[in-house]
Structure 1
């Protein structure tokens, strides 16, 4: 896929996420890996109104090459790409239910969501919590890189999800699945719930390896 077409698709998916409430204001960012670097949405931009030509281009170390000034959280994307060689796109959002989950005291910070649905297991897997750092803190990069090595989706404490995928579509759909699973988690809270068994989760992991 050409760089021009990737820029167009980033704008299309950004608008889709914004229109459906997964993003708000100027929050969130999207990136796509290229052979010589990656594209990332600009800082202080609303993803519902992206200009494809203004999307920033960075080299693999995160150095700004062209386009508008990149998101101040571009280092998160660099960290994920360095940790996950097979990931071709990364999405970060402040989706309401995912952020709410990131603010709760976690019984198990290595896996924040129970196995509610098959697609939650298939598209998200275990969801670990990355400790809180202020937005833009470079120290967050090392924490995300360490956690992302074994997980395609992580949740930043009191902040929101960072989700990687083998394509832009995969990353977007996994982010949406995470937000909807978090919503289900809160809807079912306090009710007798039939979760997937360990055997059922194991079967999904065997049949649909990440």
Structure 2
């Protein structure tokens, strides 16, 4: 894609996005072409940059991102590469939460937890409490959280609709969610904050797995 129409701020943002992608790849959280990252443009938050579909996250550069409408997920520039297949989920988070960055990864412990606790056709809820890392999520009450776990429907738009409905009804929930057999999505006011929250959520899932205790789950 050509950078000519992009502002200097957008080019810098694309480079930051690509750098985080490579970091998460090196951790084993975005193997191959899996995972996706988006961020609202600093000079126009109605638009966002997101990783293009099918790109190797370990080799991602600023040229491997595309521009979309932040609220709809539709491509906003002709002739671009195809946006990530999960762009509609990012757009759902942006519409409801006002976040400025969203990261989805296939980090191993979150994926294992999502595999264990997910319901087949309804949103499940995983209660996490007492761990000090909860304080890293910006929760109103950092003593505990109910982490939603969504079915991984083959139709991504259906997942996005579930996410939007849950976030709209859920009030002050955690800045993240799990997808059955699929991984974790986290968001924040910046790429840095979204990455930090992703790390906290993955570490909390790791602690739950290592504790070998029964996972406290409720299902709708």
In the superposition, the TM-score normalised over structure 2's length comes to 0.78
Q: Which deviates more from structure 2 when the two are superposed, residues 47-56 or residues 59-68?
A: 59-68
Q: Which moved more, 1:41-50 or 1:127-136?
A: 127-136
What is aligned with 2:59? 49
**Alignment match of 2:126 (pick from 111, 114, 117):** 111
2:147 is the alignment partner of 1:128: yes
Distance 1:115 1:20 in 2: 26
Q: Structure 1: which 5+ runs fail to align?
A: 192-210
Match of 2:4 in 1: none
Distance 1:94 1:53 in 2: 23
Name 2:75's counterpart in structure 1.
64
Instruction: Report the equivalent of 1:9.
Output: 16
Provide the TM-score with structure 1 as the length reference: 0.81
CA distance in 1, matches of 2:102, 2:153: 20
* Offset, 1:136: 4.1
Identify if the C-alpha distance between structure 1 residues 57 and 136 changes in structure 2 by more than 3 Å, giving closer, same or farther.
farther
| CA spacing shift, 1:124–1:51, aligned 2, 3 Å | same
Query: Equivalent of 2:160, from 141, 147, 151?
Result: 141
Q: 1:135 to 1:6 in 2, by over 3 A?
A: farther
CA deviation after TM superposition for structure 1 residue 115, in Å: 2.9
Aligned length: 189
* Cα distance in structure 2, aligned partners of 1:31 and 1:106: 25
Report the secondary structure of 1:70's partner residue: coil
Distance 2:213 2:181 in 1: 23
Asked whether the equivalents of residues 43 and 71 of structure 1 are also in contact (C-alpha less than 8 Å), the reply is: yes
Q: Which has the higher strand share?
A: 2
Shift of 1:15: 0.5
CA distance in 2, matches of 1:124, 1:104: 26
| Displacement of 1:188 | 1.6
* Partner Cα separation in structure 2 for residue 188 and residue 39 of structure 1: 38
Out of 89, 107, 111, the position equivalent to 2:101 is 89
Look up the SS of the partner of 1:178 in the other structure. Answer: helix
The alpha carbon displacement at 1:141 in A equals 1.1
CA contact (8 A) 1:106 1:112 kept: no
Match of 1:203? none
In the TM superposition, what is the alpha-carbon distance from 1:127 to its structure 2 partner? Answer: 4.2
Instruction: Give structure 2 stretches of 5+ with no counterpart.
Output: 1-7, 140-144, 215-220
The SS at the match of 2:163 is helix
